[in-house]
Chains A and B, each alone.
Chain A
Amino acid sequence: MIAVFAPIGRTVLGALAAIGSLAIYAASVLRHMITPPFYPRALLGALYQIGWLSLPVVGLTAIFTGAALALQIYAGGARFSAEAVVPSIVAIGMVRELGPVLGGLMVAARVASSVAAEIGTMKVTEQIDALVTLSTDPMKYLVAPRVLAATLAVPLLVAVGDSIGILGGYLVGVGRLDFNGAVYLKNTVDFLQQWDVVSGLLKGAAFGFLVALCGCYFGMRSGRGAQGVGAATKQAVVAASVLILASNYLLTELFFSA
């Protein structure tokens, strides 16, 4: 019996320890974000890398998701003659849930991996040590700008993704399901509330923070050699994805449970 439960216990304890140390790291990142020196050029570079260059992948994810959502809701709605709900449910589903979650996961795949690989490589090639000897704190020069950039950029990506997802639903609705274009748009706008949108953007900010945090955390702890960097990259993507889904549940409870 013990032989069965011991590994499970070890895994749980290991996960709890990792979450604890990640939380301590997050607190330290926040502290470095608000204390000088600041590196505005590093922040701009990170905004470009994390925000601008993620637009295509987030946009593509959103348009196909919105399109599929319209088809599904139409089919589901048809079972009780409620096809007319398609525009509003597509909008609410995109904005509250799928926009931030899928956008966050795509950013996790793209950004957590590249940040972890970049910082991990800097670690194993002694570039982090070199920074320290040049009186530059890696937490301020490398980590804080990336985490801040992701926290700012992902909500904007989510906003773009929301719009493109709704457009995907519109295209399918009007092109395949014989909705009237003007009616579709009116239904979308009329039933969408401000809090639906804002809550999704807040989720996006949280997910952006977690993605960059995981990339930096695992990159900084990278083991030696190419193998170390590979392992760090994998851990960063897995941890970021799981944390996004877990925190999505918690935030949804917080925002919407009565």
Chain B
Amino acid sequence: MITLTHIRKSFGSNHVLRDISLHVPKGSSLVVIGGSGTGKSVLLKCILGLITPDAGQIDIDGRQGTGLQNPDFLTHFGMLFQGGALFDSLPVWQNIAFRLLQGSNKLSKSDARDLAVEKLIRVGLKPQDADKFPAELSGGMQKRVGLARAIATDPSVIFFDEPTAGLDPIMSGVINALIREIVTEMGATAVTITHDMRSVHDIADNVAMIYDGLIRWHGPVGDLESAGDPFVDQFIHGRADGPITTQR
């Protein structure tokens, strides 16, 4: 369960998040939509504490504080970063198994590798990709390795930042189904950022749209089409004309 209350964040005169309040119930899947540069990635980093909000309160599982301030939170957490954020000094399998190779109860190398290969197959890559380095993979493949790393330890809270950006339609479908499966079968709490309306429908229980630093609309995915909000309408149908100004 994650609750945000009146979160604000500016970078200098760039007021990215002006007043964000959101609630993500345990075991549910929230999809955050909104134009590029509206602060969706910044929002995820504020929840984690990678970026410190200027104001507002974050509660995780009833405890006040960001992800990093909650000592056990990270051990049950996984994140897919927008750019993949793979460690380019490590081969693919060590990226995926990174957490399993650290700490006091770490796995043996061969067990960790087996688990990494299993996750690699789940995201549609081949076992032979395990020994490649991230730089040898295409952008879409890197994204999927990042996804495999995010789910490697079967976390109970997962953030996905644009999981299907850069993937072909078939692979997008596979990844959407995988994310949905993780939420439904393992009961994970998921927050996904996407621009892809198909992902919204495949993944979401609830949808929130950010516009101009505020939550423009928030509700169950079934109500999205009938939201009746001109901003939401323009966004989900991808219209060039409407209240959201596009600069050309």
Which residues in A have some Cβ–Cβ distance to B below 8 Å? 37, 122, 125-127, 129-136
Contacts and interface: CB of A to CB of B under 8 A. Distances in A.
B79 A130 contact: yes
A125 B85 contact: yes
A122 B87 CA distance: 8
A131 B206 CA distance: 29
17 contacts: A126-B82, A127-B87, A127-B88, A129-B50, A129-B81, A129-B85, A130-B79, A130-B81, A130-B85, A130-B87, A132-B50, A133-B50, A133-B79, A134-B102, A135-B102, A135-B103, A136-B98
Interface of B: 45, 48, 50, 67-68, 74-75, 77-79, 81-83, 85-88, 98-99, 102-103, 149
Contacts, number: 44
Contacts of B86: 127, 130
Given A126-B81, A131-B87, A134-B74, 11 more contacts: A37-B102, A126-B82, A127-B88, A129-B50, A130-B81, A130-B85, A133-B67, A133-B78, A134-B99, A135-B99, A136-B98
Contacts of B45: 129
Contacts of A133: 48, 50, 67, 74, 77-79
A223 to B, nearest CB: 12
Nearest to B68: A132
Contacts of A127: 85-88
Nearest to A127: B85
A151 to B, nearest CB: 21
Contacts of B77: 133
A127 B81 CA distance: 9
Contacts of B68: 132
